[in-house]
Structure 1
């Protein structure tokens, strides 16, 4: 097991970080999804095709490499459907579809994934999906559909007939969700629903983004503590602040080890993946929110204003914490896997 980044992964991290620093800085995040940034992200860096197999035009990388990229997009609070498309790509590696995987790898197709079952007959689908990540921006929905022959994975064109999308008011201002209603919408059957593997990999991918949110929030408050003066002293010199920052740093270090381990397990040790994925969401989700919360509180009054970026990290952290279900669900699953 290797928990440190390889030289190639360090280079990937620097490339993504440098790109996002110029193409999608925090002030621009408030403007929402920018298709031009997304096109450049895929055209110049090929991130959407990172885990797409080479035979479909992707890089054929593993989840450990993907985790490096997601950490940086999380730190930058990248708006838009990148995480949703990544989720769909993870699912499609289990039920390969040449058209979709090639389109994702080339950056032509944005996709999203739903874990809720809909009803289908092999040609059309019906049902209501209450919350679909990036449902307004995505081109294609990948979802399980129950048919007479069993549960299959289907692809639905979200701009096609029989589909109605309604944008939802969400806590996270940087990434939207939508209600999707399908009434006889045409679909394409991709194959039988995989019994295992997809959900665990989604948990690891989300934990990687949460790790990036944590790191960026901690970096921001440490920088602020070095310049903010209160009662004639830098606030970073006060014991209460120093201890809080130390606690936040410890949570970050533990989270990084957990994410690196889970990503390694996804690539190298499938038997360890279920426990590693459950641990990742049981710990990292809550830790990310706590770090983002304390980062906001330590900014003082300025951190509570709409003009400050602190609330953006706070809201992304909370939205991510419950995206794959609240931490208690993953704690219960981990306890079951450990036979506790």
Structure 2
């Protein structure tokens, strides 16, 4: 008896996705080179507002996940994944993951009318930057603390929030639901924290009677959707980062000579780079699968996301470590950008859940019991 045919998932990039990649890469090459990123970090103001305006407003990329009738582009997670790949390749200091993905997805779970629709339109236009006020380390489905709401006023502290300093509005989870909080009002304090990855700064938020606009009473559904999409598309950022590390390291080993021959011709290095290429190829498949599952609203999206994060996070760290080592002495300098990639990879490896946390989720999803 012949088994029934099943539809296969096309993980290849479409022509439109390739065009989108080319446009984003060209913009980043012009405005987000390593020298520019390093200069921003040294200035203590890593968020590049001009680059964000070009990406979010001029190119309309902040609204990729927002339906057209709400002011967005009506695209899918596959297109957003392509953008994040390129942002990962450039370690771009812009709040795309936090605003255009996590905060936007959380709002989409709240419905599309009234206050929510207005806020979605503002985020999609790029005029407003949003951030879900929860620790960057929080994994999808993990428990989290909430702030206290009294008469529309919010009280509490949330630490480890990514891109909070760049946000115009915070999505705050209170004991009575999800609220939108303007960061410029009295009662909101954003204190920068020392972070390993200086291109994605963290902050502690203190709310002392800040006024919040109610969005939904079902905050848990909004949080779950935002974090799941964030974790799934973070894999694409990790893929882009790992791909840059591989490409730049191969180029360096071809140009760097020892004993009158390129160091890349040494067998030990060739083996290490070949193994890294295989790892990056696997990461591409896992990241694309997660993006496609999210785009199609597949029932297996949590499985695809857990698989992608459990695989892509270690690959990105390994790729950055190999790049640092195989660049030799120059890789240890501040002027060479490889340290930016190692710090981003390490930070990403604990963002939205560690690889170990996602492996535990994966085991639960496939009913694989621990020994």
TM-score, normalization by structure 1: 0.96
Task: Name 2:13's counterpart in structure 1.
Answer: 5
Deviations 1:195-224 (A, max 9, x none): 353332111111111111111111111110
Task: Name 1:125's counterpart in structure 2.
Answer: 154
The verdict on how the C-alpha distance between 1:231 and 1:122 changes in structure 2, with shifts beyond 3 A counting, is: farther
Deviations 1:7-32 (A, max 9, x none): 11111111111111102112111212
CA contact (8 A) 2:104 2:226 kept: no
Deviations 1:114-146 (A, max 9, x none): 344222236121111111101111111113211
- Are residues 1:85 and 2:99 paired? yes
Task: Name 2:129's counterpart in structure 1.
Answer: 110
CA contact (8 A) 1:94 1:194 kept: no
The verdict on how the C-alpha distance between 1:122 and 1:153 changes in structure 2, with shifts beyond 3 A counting, is: farther
List aligned pairs for 1:38-117, cutoff 5 A: 38-86=52-100, 87-95=102-110, 96=112, 97-115=116-134, 116=144, 117=146
Report SS of the residue matched to 1:328: helix
- Are residues 1:20 and 2:36 paired? no
Q: Which region of structure 1 is more displaced relative to structure 2, 314-323 or 39-48? A: 39-48
Q: 2:68 & 2:172 partners in 1: Cα distance?
A: 24
Q: 1:114 & 1:284 partners in 2: Cα distance?
A: 25
When the two chains are superposed, the root-mean-square deviation of aligned CA atoms in Å is 1.3
List aligned pairs for 1:132-143, cutoff 5 A: 132-143=161-172
Task: Name 1:244's counterpart in structure 2.
Answer: 272
Deviations 1:258-311 (A, max 9, x none): 111111111225211011011111111111111111111111111111111110
List aligned pairs for 1:266-305, cutoff 5 A: 266-305=294-333
Task: Name 1:161's counterpart in structure 2.
Answer: 186
Report SS of the residue matched to 1:142: strand
Q: 1:134 & 1:46 partners in 2: Cα distance?
A: 20
Report SS of the residue matched to 1:270: coil
Query: Shift of the alpha carbon at 1:41?
Result: 1.4
- Are residues 1:255 and 2:270 paired? no
CA contact (8 A) 2:51 2:94 kept: no
Query: Shift of the alpha carbon at 1:43?
Result: 2.8
Task: Name 2:196's counterpart in structure 1.
Answer: 171
Q: Which region of structure 1 is more displaced relative to structure 2, 261-270 or 323-332? A: 261-270
CA contact (8 A) 2:97 2:230 kept: no
**Unmatched runs of 5 consecutive residues or more in structure 2:** 1-8, 41-45, 135-143
Q: 1:175 & 1:202 partners in 2: Cα distance?
A: 15
CA contact (8 A) 1:122 1:187 kept: no
Q: How many residue pairs end up in the alignment? A: 336
CA contact (8 A) 1:112 1:133 kept: yes
